[in-house]
Amino acid sequence: MKKLTQVFTLVMVMFLISSTISNAQSKNKVRKMEYNSSYNYEVATVAVGVDGTKLVKVWGYGKKPEDAIRNAKELGIACAIFRGFPPASNGRAAKTPAIVTDSGSPEKNAAFFETFFAPGGKYLQYVNLSTDAPPSGADRLKVNRKTYKVGITVSIAFDELRKYLEEQGIARSLNSGF
């Protein structure tokens, strides 16, 4: 009976360890491919800035407001690359098309985008200005006990970002034709 209990306990421990590893791997996979989703952007165009910049309001999510602010910056850049920006509600800015128009590009260039969007990655060079102070009121919502939804206004160096992605061979040049 004692051996049966030991075997049962060992099997249960192995099952728990394997399920924990599996969950951790699936969470990492979701995080890595988050930028590629066409459904996770909450972005509104505020205005077209000077010198090739776009001023957008982006909503991000995180366990702390600071995490949500970092997520919003990342999502703002990802939206510029993969989806483009909607027209401004006040009519001051037209719809901005995505920089990368090839729908297969995120999968083909996954290694590039993983390093580009890594925490503290190169994408931050194209966020010129943002309201980094933790917002309050309607721009800071507690979605549930563990998640904040924060809206910040971000100035994105759109033309510089396009130029960098063209140099890296990720985006086609505007003068390359169809």
What residue ranges in the chain does DSSP mark as E strands? 43-48, 53-62, 127-130, 140-144, 147-157
pLDDT above 50 (res 29): no
Q: Are residues 90 and 168 in the same domain?
A: yes
Q: Are residues 55 and 123 in the same domain?
A: yes
* pLDDT at residue 9, as a whole number: 74
Q: Are residues 87 and 52 in the same domain?
A: yes
Spatial contact of 132 and 159, defined as CB atoms under 8 Å apart? no
Q: What is the pLDDT of residues 74-112, one digit of tens each?
A: 999 998 888 888 887 776 677 788 888 877 777 888 888
Q: Are residues 30 and 92 in the same domain?
A: no
Strands 140-144 and 43-48: unpaired
Give me the chain's average pLDDT, please: 77
For residues 59 and 171, the model is more confident at: 59
Spatial contact of 43 and 85, defined as CB atoms under 8 Å apart? yes
Q: Are residues 28 and 73 in the same domain?
A: no
Q: Are residues 82 and 149 in the same domain?
A: yes
Q: Are residues 15 and 85 in the same domain?
A: no
Report the C-alpha gap between 95 and 173 in whole angstroms: 19
The parent domain of residue 12 ranges over 1-36
What is the count of structural domains for the chain? 2
H or E element, residue 33? helix 2-33
Q: Are residues 79 and 139 in the same domain?
A: yes
Phi/psi of residue 142, each to 5°?
-100, 105
Q: What is the DSSP string of 42-64?
A: -EEEEEE-STTEEEEEEEEEESS
Q: Are residues 75 and 154 in the same domain?
A: yes
pLDDT above 60 (res 71): yes
Token duo for residue 87 = 């027209």
Q: Are residues 121 and 153 in the same domain?
A: yes
Spatial contact of 60 and 71, defined as CB atoms under 8 Å apart? yes
Q: Are residues 65 and 152 in the same domain?
A: yes
Average pLDDT over residues 121-136: 77
Q: Are residues 32 and 72 in the same domain?
A: no
